[in-house]
Amino acid sequence: MTSTQSPPDAAPVGPPPLAPPARRRGRPGRVRVRDRGMSRAFRWLATGAGALILVVLAAVAVFLVVKAWPAITEPTDQLVAEVPWLHGASSLLSFVGPLIFGTVLAAALALLIATPIALGIALFISHYAPRRLAAGLGYVVDLLAAIPSVVYGLWGGLVLAPFVQPVWSWLGETLGWIPFFSGDVSPTARVLLTVGLVLAVMILPIITAVSREVFLQTPRLHEEAALALGATRWEMIRTAVLPFARSGIISAAMLGLGRALGETMAVLMILSPGFLYSFKLLVAGQQQTIAANIAAQFAEASPMSVSALIATGLALFVITLFVNMTARWIVSRRKDFSGAN
Amino acid sequence: MAQRIDVKDLNIYYGDFKAVADVGMAIEPRSVTAFIGPSGCGKSTFLRTLNRMHEVIPGAHVEGTVAVDGVDLYGADVDPVAVRRQVGMVFQRPNPFPTMSIEENVLAGVRLNNKRISKSDAADLVEVSLRSANLWTEVKDRLNRPGSGLSGGQQQRLCIARAIAVKPQVLLMDEPCSALDPISTLAIEDLISELKSAYTIVIVTHNMQQAARVSDRTAFFNLAGVGQPGRLVEIDDTGTIFSSPREQATEDYISGRFG
C-alpha cells in the first residue's frame, strides 16, 4: 500500500514469466517511476475523497451556525414577537426542547419496532430461506427503500391510520394505565404511534439490507465450529453469527435511526402536531418533530423565522452527531472480541 | 468413552455428483486412524460424514450406513445435532469463536448441551480440558482474553480443548496441523498420542510422515480421475501400509511416485 512497493505483476501484460525481471534489470528506473506516479495519483484521489467528507460536514455545520445565529442571539421577547409559531414559548431553547423530544421519541419508537423485525427478515434471508426465495425476498425488501416518503405519508394518513385506529382504541382501553397509552385516544389515529409505525416501515429496508450483508459475512469456519459442537441452527446463529455481526447490527440500526430522525414528509402528512413534553403516544396534538416542523413553517417564514427554524435544524444536526458517536463508542468498547484482530 | 465405528457401503454425494463411492471400513476404539491420499480423493468429505457435517452443505447427502457402537448415524430417528455432540471435530484452520474469551470458547459446547453448570464446575472443566489439550500453563493467566489473540498452534489446541470439553466418543481431525509450524505440529501430535487412550481418533492428513508417526491404522484413498468418485483403496495397520502395502497404487503414492 505504500508507494515504495512495486508489485512485480504490475509490469505490462504479455511477456512470459521470465521477461519482466530481465526487462527491469535492463531499464531500472522506468517501471518503478510509472508505478509510483499512478499510486501517488491514487493516494491523492483517496485522500481527497476522504477530505471532501470533512469539508462537506464542516460546510453544513458552518451554514447552520451562521444562519441560526440571529435567532440564537436575538432577545427572547423580540423573537417571540417576530416569530408567530413560537406559541408564546419563553425562549428559543424552551421551544426547541419539545421538538427535540418529539423527534427522538418518534425515531426511538420506529427503531424499537423496526430492528427486531429487520433482524428477523435478515436472518431468514441469510440462514433459513431456500436460496431462490432468499434472493427474491431480498429484492422485495430493497424495493421498499425505493418508495418515496410522500407515498408513505399518504399511505400512512389515508390507509394505515384508519386501519390501526381500532387497535389504538383497544390499547387505550385495556393498557391505559401505562403512561404511553393513557389519555383520550385520537379518533383519527394521527398520533405518534402511527408515525412510529410508518417510520419503522421506512427504515426497515436499510436495517435489513445492512444486517443481511453482515450475517452473510460470518466465516463459514465459525458456523461449522458451532455446528460441530452440536449446535442447532438457532444455537449456531446465537454463538457464531450474532456475536460476529454485533457491530454491523449496531451500524445498521444507527443508519435507520439517522433516517428516522430526519424524516420529514411522512411525519408532516400523518402527525397532528403539538409542542409538549408528552409520552402519550395515542393522543393527538402532543408532539412534533424538528424536520416536519421546518417543512410546515418554512413556506411563509420571515427572515427571523427562517433563522429560528435553522436553529432547530442545528439541534437535529447535533443530535444525529451525538447518536452516531455513541454508536461508535458502543462498537469500540469490545473491539478485542470483534474478530477483526 | 471411546467407541467403534463401522462403515458399510457408503456413497457420498454433492447434489448429483458422486464424490466418494463404496467405502466400507471398521475404525477401532482407543486408536488413531489416519486417512491419506491425493487432493480431491474424498478423505475430508468422508471424515465429515462421520459426524453428519457433510449434509450442512446444500444438496449434500449420503447412502449407506455409519454405525457408532452399533447405532446407525443415518437412521431415520437420529438427530444430527445429537450425533455431533457425540462425535467432536477439529478443523483444518483453527477456528476459535472470535467474540468469546478463551474460557468461553472452552465452555461453548457445554453451554449448548447443558446450560446449567455451576461456576466451580465450569472452572474445573476449563482447567481439565485445557490441561488435556496441553494449553493450560500457557493461558491460565489470561482466560478472559479473546481466543483469537493466541498463536495459530495455541488456537488449534484451544479448539481441541473445546471439542473434548463436551466429552465426545470420537474425535475427528481434518488436517489439524496443515496451517501450523513444525513446533506447533509436534505439540499437536504429542497431544493426539495422549488423547488416544480415551478417544477414538480419526485424522485426515496430507503429511505421510505424520500419518506414520501418530496413527495405528492408515486408510489410503484414491480417485481414478477428475470427475470420478474417490474410493478407499486399502486400510491396514500403519506399519504394513508403509512397508508392504497390498495395492500397487498405495505403494506408488507412499513412495512419492504420484500424488
Query: Hey, are the CB atoms on A229 and B85 less than 8 Å from each other?
Result: yes
Beta strand B217-223 with B60-68 is: unpaired
User: A134 at the B interface (CB within 8 A)?
Assistant: no
Q: In the prediction, which pLDDT does A34 show?
A: 57
Q: In the prediction, which pLDDT does A71 show?
A: 87
Q: Which of A337, A338, A341 to mutate to test the interface with B (most CBs of B within 10 A)?
A: A337
> Please, which residues 96-125 of chain B have a Cβ atom closer than 8 Å to chain A?
96-101, 108-109, 112-113
pLDDT tens, residue by residue, B69-91 = 888 999 888 999 989 988 999 99
User: A128 at the B interface (CB within 8 A)?
Assistant: no
Does residue B136 form part of some domain?
no
Residues of chain B contacting A334 with CB distance shorter than 8 Å = 99
- Tell me which residue range forms the domain holding B178: 5-97+170-254
Confidence band (pLDDT; 50, 70, 90) for A78?
Answer: confident
Does residue B176 form part of some domain?
yes
CB burial string A141-164: b at 16+ within 10 A, e below? beebeeeebeebbbbbbeebbeeb
Nearest to A107 by CA among A248, A254, A205, A278: A254
Query: Hey, are the CB atoms on A228 and B113 less than 8 Å from each other?
Result: no
CA distance B251 to chain A (A): 34
Please name the residues in contact with A167: beta carbons below 8 A apart, sequence gap of 6 or more.
Answer: none
Instruction: Compare B181 and A21 and report the one with higher pLDDT.
Output: B181
Q: In the prediction, which pLDDT does A88 show?
A: 66
Q: In the prediction, which pLDDT does B1 show?
A: 54
Query: Hey, are the CB atoms on B98 and A244 less than 8 Å from each other?
Result: yes
Q: In the prediction, which pLDDT does A39 show?
A: 87
Q: In the prediction, which pLDDT does B87 show?
A: 92
Q: Which helix (H) or strand (E) holds B14?
A: strand B5-14
Confidence band (pLDDT; 50, 70, 90) for A198?
Answer: very high
Query: Hey, are the CB atoms on B112 and A240 less than 8 Å from each other?
Result: no
Does residue B145 form part of some domain?
no
User: A336 at the B interface (CB within 8 A)?
Assistant: yes
Nearest to A67 by CA among A294, A322, A336, A330: A294
Q: Take residue A41 and report the three cell numbers written for it.
A: 495519483
Which CATH number is associated with domain A77-337? 1.10.3720.10
User: A331 at the B interface (CB within 8 A)?
Assistant: no
What average pLDDT does this structure show over A74-87? 78
Q: In the prediction, which pLDDT does B35 show?
A: 95
Distance separating alpha carbons of residues B87 and B85, to the nearest angstrom: 6
pLDDT tens, residue by residue, A121-160 = 999 999 999 888 988 998 898 888 889 999 999 999 999 9
Q: In the prediction, which pLDDT does A242 show?
A: 92
| Chain centre to alpha carbon of residue A341 | 27
Query: Do B238 and B254 meet the contact criterion of CB atoms below 8 Å apart?
Result: no
Asked if pLDDT for residue A23 goes beyond 60, the answer is no
Q: Report in angstroms the alpha-carbon separations of B22 from B29, B46, B65.
A: 22, 11, 11
Query: Hey, are the CB atoms on B89 and A228 less than 8 Å from each other?
Result: yes
| pLDDT under 50: residue ranges of chain B | 259
Does residue B44 form part of some domain?
yes
> How many structural domains compose chain B?
1
Query: Hey, are the CB atoms on A225 and B159 less than 8 Å from each other?
Result: yes
Confidence band (pLDDT; 50, 70, 90) for A18?
Answer: very low
Asked if pLDDT for residue A28 goes beyond 60, the answer is no
CA dihedral sign, ordered A79, A84, A87, A88? positive
User: A214 at the B interface (CB within 8 A)?
Assistant: no
DSSP per-residue codes, A94-151: HHHHHHHHHHHHHHHHHHHHHHHHHHHHHHIIIIIS-HHHHHHHHHHHHHHHTS-HHH
CB burial string A221-242: b at 16+ within 10 A, e below? ebbbbbbbbbbebebbbebbbb
Q: In the prediction, which pLDDT does B114 show?
A: 66
Does residue B85 form part of some domain?
yes
Does residue B42 form part of some domain?
yes
CATH code of the domain in which B205 resides: 3.40.50.300
**Cell 403512561 maps to which residue?**
A179
Composition of chain B by helix, strand, coil, percent to 5? 40, 25, 35
Distance separating alpha carbons of residues B66 and B229, to the nearest angstrom: 19
Q: Take residue A17 and report the three cell numbers written for it.
A: 514469466
